[in-house]
Structure 1
Amino acid sequence: MAGLLAERARSLPSWSGLTGAEAAYRNLVLSPADGPDRLTAAAELVVRIAGYDEYPEVYPRRITLVRDAGGWRVEREESASGPPALWDLGPARTAPGAHCLVLGLAEGPAPSGLVEVGDRAVAAVSAVWGDDWPGRLLLELPADEAQFARLLEGDPAGWTGMAAVTVAAPGAPRRTPADRVVVNPEAFGRLSGFGRQVVVTHEATHVATRADTRAWTPLWLSEGVADWTAYRDSGRSPRQISPELARDVEAGRLPSALPADRDYAAGATGIAQAYEQSWLACDLIARRWGPERLVALYRAVGADDGQGEDRERRTDRLLRAGLGVGLDGFTELWRAEVEALKG
């Protein structure tokens, strides 16, 4: 039986559409099913895409095996727990770029349409964050929004309007650079060419900064640097980048504090304004103190010595050390930037 699954693993690129993949089944446990000619197997499918996965992806699988005149064969294989693999959703196809690999489905949008966007995103991110990340991007493109939600193990209604999300490779350790971007084809397809580039560059920034991101990193900072990197050198004005926030300011609704983590939850009221407020905070740092200070601050916040320290106190301390202004003072400077959107 092990030989049968080993052969199946060797053939994975041909039936999954993967390029440059190595695969193996491990931790195989066999159980009798209905009669002597049927077995069920629990196993882990371990997949590694050369050049993209620092750690293997691990997919718990449930496999049905049957024996006929030709011997044992795999009748069915499916996900046993966790999110499905993209190829569980249908026949897959791939499109490689110079610095990215796009995995798609035969019944969905052509993955080749994302290659140029992915390559440009890698270049834009590397221009800010340097070579401290692999400089490669893996994108998954399901066929529709329902499949997008399945890959995220979420309620489809909660992800409506979300164009893309960065996720960790299944089974990989925390803080791994083997992260990939899952694209919502419906929301992404409604964007302009500029909007699509912003989204993919934003998500690529999360991939590049994953090793410097911790549970205590405020989302206003992690989402802000991602948007700031994506909009950098775009030539867009603050009001163009922050239209929802600008409308709130015109109506007299000004935020009193930087966004809280809960403001970024999928489907949250005012989520667009939270992202725009984040961008404005990081843009303020980059303009007033320089992009290098913004990058240094981000890495300082995510340093390993933050375990157990109160997050707000830590952010205040590092703002003082890096910018010479504490959290309260920075918030006042930021609120002045927000108010200036009134034009």
Structure 2
Amino acid sequence: MADHRAEVEALLAARARALAAGPPALPLAEAVYRNLVLGPAGTPDRLTVTAELAVRVAGYDEYPVVHPRRLTLLRAADGWRVEREEGAGGPPPLWDLGTVTAVRGERALVLGVAGGPDPAGPAAVADRAVVAVAGLWGTGWANRLLLEVPATEAQFARLLEAEPAAWSAMAAVTTAAPGAPWHTPADRVVLNPQAYGGLSDFGRQVVITHEAVHVATRADTRAWTPLWLSEGVADWTGYRGSGRSPRQIAPELARDVSAGRLPSALPADQDFTAGAAGIAQAYEQAWLACELIARRYGPERLAALYRAVGAAGRGADREQLLDRVFRAELGLGLAEFTGLWLAEVRRLGE
């Protein structure tokens, strides 16, 4: 087995170099197989190997993105060769889904799978999104986006390790690169080619700007940050300056209010679960809450509030934590703010 290890290490080192130096469309700054484990020999001419494939996308990843891999090796006349390589856990690298094409914008890199949408369109949208987000959230983040565009909705679900039916209505999702520390700017914006393709140009811009906010605010977002606030600031930034009325931005909520169906509290985290009933209303309610803060106190105060929530530290009770931050930043408690928000909700039915 020790003799095999040296040969296998040399084989995988060469394979990693070929991947990093491979097609120009796959801009990897680094690729390496590490933590190699040789399985028990099935036959003298066959080996099963597990390893971590660690890669960095040039210009975007500060830390390696880690993909667990399983490889089947066969002994040929000139040494070992790879018969099969597959994922051994976690989301697959994009090139597992097909040939990758890359398009660079001024502030974005879009990696698309052959047979899917042209990556050039999302690249232009992402460039504009970065500018829009920097206008409110500043330049203390990476100020660039990495987008992955699979060819099908099924591939989109594979990249998220999710059930396709639950995510079919989602046009895009921001996800952390596997194996990267939480604080690094290694987020990927993954597009759903079906849902994204069905949007208008305006809708696509709102969606990518929304996801860019999640990338920009990653360092300020904590487990205790309520989803109504994180999703609300993302939607508010996406619609900022659009000239759209509240009823145009929140049509599902407006219809509910007109029919006498009003919420009694700010949306809970579970209301944003993919596939949940009323998820559209949850997003619209979150947007309206953040729109109220920005209109009443100014956009900069909305950003300051968001950062203050993240910096507040874990509390025994999240509602008490939020109440304390709201009083410090806005001069009113969470209950009073909720009352003002409910009044805004009721106005949608007028």
TM-score by length of 2: 0.95
Distance 1:203 1:221 in 2: 14
CA RMSD of aligned residues (A): 1.3
Residue in structure 2 matched with residue 323 of structure 1 by the alignment? 330
Q: In the alignment, which of 32, 38, 42 is matched to residue 50 of structure 2?
A: 42
Moved over 6 A (4+): none
Where does structure 1 lack aligned partners over 5 or more consecutive residues?
A: none
Residue in structure 1 matched with residue 34 of structure 2 by the alignment = 26
Task: Check conservation: 2:315, 2:321, Cα contact below 8 A.
Answer: no
Shift of 1:15: 5.8
8 Å Cα contact 1:158/1:267 also seen in 2? yes
1:114-153 aligned at under 5 Å gives the runs 114-153=122-161
- Give the Cα–Cα distance (whole angstroms) in 2 for the partners of residues 103 and 186 of structure 1: 17
Matched, 1:264 2:264: no
TM-superposed deviation, 1:309: 3.3
Shift, 1:27, TM fit: 0.5
Aligned partner (choices 303, 306, 324) of residue 298 of structure 1 = 306
Q: Is the 8 A contact 2:115 2:151 kept in 1?
A: yes
Match of residue 310 from structure 1: 317
How far apart are the structure 2 equivalents of 1:84 and 1:174? 19
The answer to whether the aligner puts 1:278 opposite 2:286 as a matched pair is yes
In 2, the alpha carbon distance for the partners of 1:80 and 1:271 equals 33
- 1: CA distance between counterparts of 2:342 and 2:29? 49
Q: CA deviation at 1:76?
A: 1.2
- CA deviations on 1:81-128 (whole Å, 9 max, x unpaired) are 111111111111111111111111112222122110111111111111
Larger mean Cα displacement after TM superposition, 320-329 or 45-54: 45-54
Percent of aligned positions that are identical: 70
Q: CA deviation at 1:174?
A: 2.5
Partners of 1:15 and 1:66 in 2: CA distance:
25
1:3 aligns with 2:7: no
Equivalent in the alignment of 1:87? 95
CA displacement at 1:288 relative to structure 2: 0.4
* Structure 2 residue 263 is matched with structure 1 residue 255: yes
Identify unmatched segments of 5+ residues in structure 2: 1-7
Provide the rounded CA distance (Å) in 2 between the counterparts of 1:176 and 1:150: 23
User: For residues 80 and 20 of structure 1, what CA distance do their matches in structure 2 show?
Assistant: 21
Over 3 Å counting, the alpha-carbon distance change for 1:277 and 1:301 in structure 2 is: same
**d(CA) in 2 for partners of 1:226, 1:262:** 18
Q: Secondary structure at the match of 2:140?
A: coil
Counterpart for residue 4 of structure 2:
none
Size of the aligned set, in residue pairs, is 342
Question: What is the aligned partner in structure 2 of residue 337 from structure 1?
Answer: 344
Counterpart of 1:170 in structure 2 is 178
For residues 116 and 341 of structure 1, the distance between their equivalents in structure 2, rounded to whole angstroms, comes to: 34
